[in-house]
Chain A
Amino acid sequence: MSAVEISNVTKTFGDVTAVDNLSLTVPEGSVYGFIGPNGSGKSTTMRMIANIFYADSGTIQVFGKARFGTRSDQIGYLPEERGVYRKMRVRALLEFYGELRGGRNVTAQVNSWLERLGLADRANDKVETFSKGMSQKVQFIATVIPEPKLLILDEPFTGLDPVSADSIRSAVLEMRKRGCTVILSTHDMNVAESLCDSIFMIFRGKKVLDGSLASIQASYGSDTIRVEVEGRAPLGDLPGIERVNDLGQVQELRMGQGCDPQQVLHALASRARIASFSVVKPSLHDIFVRIAGPEPQENNVA
């Protein structure tokens, strides 16, 4: 069964079409990553799933039911621009959010989550005394109490230090194990690659990618050479290379039509000492840039 079924949904704000005839299926129990440049329609889509915005046309079903105008205690939603009542004490705040979503035995759940995210000793402090990262942890807990069937996280890792990000990541994965469906948006392609079962990319309101990372990469083929060379050697004029993506220690070379990796290796060896050389599928980062870069070269509308 699908957790979310979006069919031909369009949403406009004045003259701007934020989401254009979008269809998407999010399977139950999966972690679905939403990626796309700023202003592409990710948050609008998430808000429509959370029933905060209503679609102009098309339908959205959550666990098989259209929810126009009704609230559901089964959904936990962490918006991108999030805030909580800063004057409230953490425990009271979390119990309020939990009770608002019809939670039972909320206090025990609050205690458990506070312990887990290392906030138990600050439970009676006011939120306004917390750092940004700690506030984000509080907001995350407010989203998952009581545990929802569908968790929508709009850029949940933004602003978190690696330790805090790891604790949220492991919490998300554990909830997935217990059957929770997770939709999350991120600008961190490593997060999308490592955490998500499926990835959906939206660009200018339209769906441009949808599927597992492997299937998306497969559709682009092994058209990338990843090399490490000693010193700084010019790579842009290597035979058959269309584009060089300098990642610092590593360079990604995109091969054009008919490019022979052996010829590239031979040419490169004549210029510099090679530390590593591998022919790989393009990274999600590279695919993202190809679609949404300053001069999108491929508009692979799915």
Chain B
Amino acid sequence: MRRVLLIAKRDYLQTVLSKAYIIGLVLVPILIGASFLATSLAFRGNAKDQHVAIIDRTGVAASAVIQAAEETSRRAVAKAPGGLNVMPHIVFEQVQPEADQTAQLLSLSDRIRRGELVLVLDISAGALAPGKEDPPVDLVRIYSNSSGVDQVGIAMQSAVNDGLRRVRLSQLGIDPARFPDILRDVPVVSMALVTKDPVSGQIGGAEKRNPLQAVLVPVFLTILLLMVVLLGAAPHLGAVAEDKMQRVFEMLLCSASSFELMMGKVVASLGTSLTSSIFYILGGLAALAGMALFGVAPLHLLPWFFVYLIAEVAMLSAWSVALGSACNTPQDAQSLAFLLILPVMIPMLMLTPVMAQPNGVLATTMSFIPPFTPMVMLLRQSMPGGVPWWEPWVGLIGMIAFAAAVIWAAARIFRIGILSQGKAPKIRELAQWVVRG
């Protein structure tokens, strides 16, 4: 154990004192801060007028659509924190329909290309009576050079329907003064479940669900886990190949066994990942406290976060060390990086379906597959409603067993790999090293 700790201490200090690690550690919060700043600057950019052309082929809808858009904009500005220009000011330009529709649209498209307009709204004559076709025919079209999910585009979709409803109501003889009341949105509030205290039996009232807590916290925790796991484990892949290329291991092997060498590196990875995660978690908690949002911090999940972190880093760093030992150069190691990243990337690719149904068959099954357990189970635990109490424990037992198996197999690969020369082995040969030792 003394040798394992000595090797771990050397590797840990070499990593955390390196410029690359320190820059990487600080860069992430800087990038997050920069993204907030960019968002703020983008809102400031909303001060500029956005010109929209409307071709109203109904002859009656344009003014209603414009009125609806202006009301939406006013409401959004009124609700925005700090007086931010959350909605751009839209300047409408009504364009009379011409006989040659194609030529007119081409001309307006050219104006968009020149930056004179942001979009063209083309409301067809049938838009007031859409009929019952399913799917409905394209009765209103938006022509633009943007993705279609930009602020103006989204605002126009809402404003068009609102405006068309106003016209229909008007055609039914309803007083326009009543429109705001008739069309007013009613807020739909997401609530947590009603609970019963197991000791006192008292039934507690359901609490309002905070969207920040329901979505952002699980996503943040999962991405943080992914990030610190990769920060701790991935560097070994190239570093071990580099050390092998520099012939470092043979001198060490007289003083420490290959297993001690490998475990030293695994422990160093744990140290690196714990250092990174503590830095980020303390920083995150401080940021939440600063924004008076400390209550949304999932403090009850932090012990599980660290348990999953330790298990995942132990698995991946042992695997990373083994793969690195099989390579002759850091370049060889790059080609095997996908084998290292796969166990953490698959859960990330499944993030959306797992969040959509955190207790569905897919999410539950994935959370019991050991390499995926840390990320998927943590995601499920941090979602509103959580998981049955026994599931994390069963997942933990599976993870520990799997981590032990990975370390055992990795040690067998590492022992042969660090002294092997010649071309890098194929996956089949690695499997043979594991089986034959």
Chain A interface residues (CB < 8 Å from chain B): 47, 50-52, 69-71, 73, 75-79, 81-88, 96-97, 99-102, 139, 142-143, 152
Assess the A83–B246 pair: CB atoms within 8 A: yes
Specify which chain B residues have a CB less than 8 angstroms from the CB of A76 in the assembled complex: 254
- Cβ contacts under 8 Å, A78 to chain B: 251
Distance of A137 Cα from B202 Cα, bound (Å): 77
Neighbouring A residues of B247 by C-beta, 8 Å: 79, 81-83
Q: How far is the CB of A139 from chain B (nearest CB, A)?
A: 7
The segment from B6-14, B331-339, B341-349, B370-378 that touches chain A is B6-14
CB-defined A-B contacts under 8 Å, sample of 18: A50-B254, A52-B250, A52-B254, A71-B255, A71-B256, A75-B254, A78-B251, A79-B250, A79-B251, A82-B250, A83-B247, A84-B248, A85-B14, A87-B14, A100-B252, A100-B256, A101-B255, A102-B2
Q: Contacts A85-B243, A96-B6, A100-B6; is A71 near B250 (CB within 8 Å)? A: no
A88-B14 contact in complex given A96-B6, A99-B6, A100-B6, C-beta closer than 8 Å: yes
Interface of chain B, main secondary structure: helix
User: In the bound complex, do residue A69 and residue B257 qualify as a contact, i.e. CB atoms below 8 Å apart?
Assistant: yes
Please report the C-alpha to C-alpha distance between residue A228 and residue B234 in the assembled complex, in whole angstroms.
66
Q: Does B105 contact A (CB under 8 A)?
A: no
Annotate B1-41 by CB proximity to A: 1 below 8 A, 0 otherwise. Answer: 01100110010001000000000000000000000000000
Kindly state the separation between the CA atoms of A35 and B10 in the bound complex, as whole angstroms: 36
In angstroms, how far is the closest chain A Cβ from the Cβ of B12? 13
- For residue B7, which residues in chain A have a CB less than 8 angstroms away from its CB? 100
Determine which of A83, A88, A102 lies in contact with B251 in the assembled complex, contact meaning CB atoms within 8 Å: A83
* Nearest CB on A from B433, distance (A): 13
In the complex the two chains form, what is the Cα distance from A87 to B253 in whole Å? 19
- In Å, the complex CA distance between A96 and B14 comes to 12
Tally inter-chain residue pairs, CB-CB below 8 A: 65
Q: Is B397 an interface residue (CB 8 A)?
A: no
Question: Does A100 lie within 8 Å of B255, measured CB to CB?
Answer: yes
Give chain B residues whose Cβ lies under 8 Å from the Cβ of A139. Answer: 251
Q: How far is the CB of A7 from chain B (nearest CB, A)?
A: 21
The smallest beta-carbon distance between B264 and chain A, in angstroms, is 10
Taking beta carbons and an 8 Å cutoff, which residues of B are in contact with A? 2-3, 6-7, 10, 14, 243, 246-248, 250-257, 260, 419
Q: Which of B255, B257, B260 has a CB less than 8 Å from the CB of A97? A: B255
Instruction: Kindly list chain B residues whose C-beta atoms are within 8 Å of the C-beta of A85.
Output: 10, 14, 243, 246, 248
In the assembled complex, which residues on chain A have CB atoms less than 8 Å from the CB atom of B256?
A: 71, 100
Q: How far is the CA of A99 from the CA of B251 in the complex (A)?
A: 14
The minimal Cβ–Cβ distance linking B432 to chain A, given in whole angstroms, is: 12
Q: Are A51 and B14 in contact (CB under 8 A)?
A: no
| B243, B251, B256, B257: most-surrounded residue (chain A CB, <10 A) | B251
Shortest CB–CB separation between residue A210 and chain B, in angstroms? 24
Given A87-B14, A100-B6, A100-B7, check contact A51 B251 (CB 8 Å). no
In the complex, the answer to whether A96 meets B10 with C-beta atoms within 8 Å is yes
By a CB distance below 8 angstroms, the chain B residues around A73 are 255
**CA–CA, A77 and B254, complex, Å:** 6
On whether the beta carbons of A142 and B248 are closer than 8 Å, the reply is no
A52 with B253: CB separation less than 8 A: yes
> B6 to chain A: which residues have CB within 8 Å?
96, 99-100
A71: which B residues are within 8 A, CB to CB? 3, 254-257, 260
**A84 and B251: CB pair below 8 A?**
yes
Q: How far is the CA of A101 from the CA of B260 in the complex (A)?
A: 13
B255 adjacent to A86 (CB under 8 Å): no
- The distance in angstroms between the C-alpha atoms of A52 and B257, with both chains bound, is 8
List B contacts of A52 (CB < 8 A). Answer: 250, 253-254, 419
